Structures are given as structure tokens and as C-alpha cells.
């Protein structure tokens, strides 16, 4: 592994737990942080409890690290007052702490929801203007813009991963295009940490799905080689987004999340 000292924020979450299993044997020091305590530490793991909104606590968590995988934050649509602390202030705190601590690379967990209003008929490569399908996607757009700023202004290496539908297996028709398997998630984030000479990159986090909406050329340049395909699970899946013509599906509806009622 290019970096031996790696911080994983949001380590108590589903993706965090998956990446712990996939990264701990590849690095010398895997430091975990979350608002919730983590007690089942494995060899090579340490834990620093931190609220992302507390800049001093984030600074303590980042100190001494070479790379940060930033997963922490509210992971779905919510009222602005719920999102603004973890997803806006918290993301700023992580990037700024990384700059101050001399961290070389930040891998930022963005979301496919940042482009949810693009037509379902269009294949995206990550270079299009953002079209978030809600406030959550808009906060991820802020995080990507912040990453671009810190790359340009301070020379921080930043990879923004627009994560698809992270699930053990597809459970609805939309996942045939958006699924990111746990094994491919480990492959992708490992590639993001191992790739040499990264300036600023935006990649989609998706498996090798036959029907995927997103081009994987940028991720391939980092060394990502997905192996799973949602098509194997296509039979009998419910279609919760029937009739939707945008990639965000039900997430793009005005009533999703409840804040706009």
C-alpha cells in the first residue's frame, strides 16, 4: 500500500465496516473515527472518537496520518439543518485538518445522487455539471468543490468517489445500473489509495454492471478492476422507480426526504 497510516472517518457505518475488513491487512496503521464508539478493534486498528463538527477533535483524529478516507456524514436525504453540520462543516473540517497535518491524499465519499437529475438514457463520465437530486446530493457537490479547491490551492491529492448503491446484493431494478458490491468497494477504495500521482479525480463507484449508467474509464486509470455484475440478480427484482426517466429515480421526487412538504 502506498500509504501506511490511513484514517477512516465514518468507520462505524456499513461501508466503513466493509473497508475496515478490506484495508486493515494492507496498512500498518488503520485509524478509525466516528461519533459512535467502536469497540471491536482488530489488530492494526486504533479508534479516536470525534464529532465531525468539532474541528479540534477532527484535528486530533487526522494527526500523523498520510491519507484519509472520508466516509463520515449523513448518508441520505434529510432537512438542511440535519445535513449542514456533518456534511458541510464536517467535510470542511476534514479537508482543512488534512491540509494542516500534511496529509497527502483524501479519498472523499461522494454520491451518485450528485447527478440524479440526468436522464436515465445517458451515460455519464463524471465531467458533466452536477445535477443533484436533493439536498443530500447538493452537500456532496459542496464536498467535491471543496476537494477541488484544496487540490488546486494547497496541492492535496483528492479522489472523489461517487458511490452507487452499496448493497450485499441488488434488491431492486435500479440497482442493476447502480450496484456497488462490497468486494468491488474494497477494490475501488484500495485503488484510490494506491494510485500514483493523483491530482484531483472524480470517479463513479459502481460494479461492472451490464446496464450501468456511468463510465469507468477514470476509475480504471486509478487501477480499479471491478468483477461483479448486478445482472446475475436481475430476475424478480421489484421496480420501485417505475415510470421515472431520471437516474435518481424516487430520490428525485419532490416529496422524498420530507423537508420540502
Q: State the catalytic residues.
A: 136
- Cβ atoms of 162 and 112 closer than 8 Å: yes
- Cβ atoms of 207 and 94 closer than 8 Å: no
Other CB atoms within a 10 A radius of the CB of residue 69 amount to: 27
Sequence-separated (6 or more) residues with CB below 8 Å from residue 113 = 132, 133, 134, 136, 137, 140, 248, 251
Other CB atoms within a 10 A radius of the CB of residue 62 amount to: 28
Give strand ranges (E) for the chain.
5-9, 29-34, 45-49, 67-70, 105-111, 157-163, 165-166, 179-180, 200-205
Amino acid at each position: 500500500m502506498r500509504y501506511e497510516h490511513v484514517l477512516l472517518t465514518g468507520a462505524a457505518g456499513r461501508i466503513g465496516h466493509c473497508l475496515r475488513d478490506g484495508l486493515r491487512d494492507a496498512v500498518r496503521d488503520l485509524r478509525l473515527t466516528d461519533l459512535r464508539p467502536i469497540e471491536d478493534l482488530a489488530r492494526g486498528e486504533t479508534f479516536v472518537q470525534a464529532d465531525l463538527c468539532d474541528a479540534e477533535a477532527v484535528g486530533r483524529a487526522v494527526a500523523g496520518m498520510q491519507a484519509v478516507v472520508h466516509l463520515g456524514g449523513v448518508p441520505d436525504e434529510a432537512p438542511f439543518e440535519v445535513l449542514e453540520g456533518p456534511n458541510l462543516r464536517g467535510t470542511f473540517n476534514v479537508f482543512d485538518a488534512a491540509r494542516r497535518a500534511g496529509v497527502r491524499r483524501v479519498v472523499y465519499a461522494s454520491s451518485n445522487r450528485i447527478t440524479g437529475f440526468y436522464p436515465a438514457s445517458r451515460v455519464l463520465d463524471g465531467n458533466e455539471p452536477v445535477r443533484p437530486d436533493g439536498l443530500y446530493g447538493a452537500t456532496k457537490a459542496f464536498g467535491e468543490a471543496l476537494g477541488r479547491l484544496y487540490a488546486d490551492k494547497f496541492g492535496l491529492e483528492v479522489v472523489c468517489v461517487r458511490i452507487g448503491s452499496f448493497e450485499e446484493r441488488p434488491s431492486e431494478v435500479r440497482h442493476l445500473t447502480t450496484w456497488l458490491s462490497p468486494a468491488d468497494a474494497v477494490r475501488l477504495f484500495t485503488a484510490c489509495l494506491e494510485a500514483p500521482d493523483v491530482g484531483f479525480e472524480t470517479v463513479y463507484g459502481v460494479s461492472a454492471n451490464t446496464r450501468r449508467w456511468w463510465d469507468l474509464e477514470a476509475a480504471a486509470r486509478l487501477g480499479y478492476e471491478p468483477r461483479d455484475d448486478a445482472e446475475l440478480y436481475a430476475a424478480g427484482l421489484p421496480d420501485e422507480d417505475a415510470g421515472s426517466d431520471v437516474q435518481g429515480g424516487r430520490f428525485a421526487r419532490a416529496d422524498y426526504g420530507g423537508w420540502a412538504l
